[in-house]
Amino acid sequence: MRYKIIRKGEAEAYSQRSGENIAFLATGSDTDGKVSIFDSILTKGNGAPLHYHEIDDEIFYTISGQVEFTINNETLTTTEGDLVIAGPQVLRSFKALTDSHILVINAPGGPSEGFLREVLSLNKISEADKKRFAEKYKIHIL
């Protein structure tokens, strides 16, 4: 039987110069590959470009703020308590319209973690990076 307790401030965390802060609350190694959970604090204007995942569902729960999502060709704004689910092959992007706090869940867990670690270490994403992400993590940035 496995269990793990992550106390506030103990999670693996990353900060970007743009103002985004991400904490890895649960990783694929914590959950036998079943799920990854990320706590993301977004400053106004931060988010993710249009992309899709080949294999994992991505679930976004808005804790606070207003976040604009584009899912396939539909654009919507979420506020506190709203949930968005984007399955494999579904195009998605998001941008914080105000300073926002979201919880992001990926299932299965694992690929998104490696992807985020790499993305968060870069100043700018090149075409070569995009190709590597698609091959390695099955996440395609358009």
Apex CA 33: angle with CA 32 and CA 37, to 5°? 105
- Distance (Å, rounded) from C-alpha 57 to C-alpha 69? 15
Specify the DSSP class assigned to residue 119. H
Q: Are strands 92-96 and 21-26 parallel, antiparallel or unpaired?
A: unpaired
pLDDT in tens, 5-46: 989 889 999 988 777 899 999 999 999 999 999 999 999 999
Quote the pTM value: 0.93
- Distance (Å, rounded) from C-alpha 31 to C-alpha 109? 8
**Going from the N-terminus, what domains does the chain have, and what CATH number goes with each?**
12-141 (2.60.120.10)
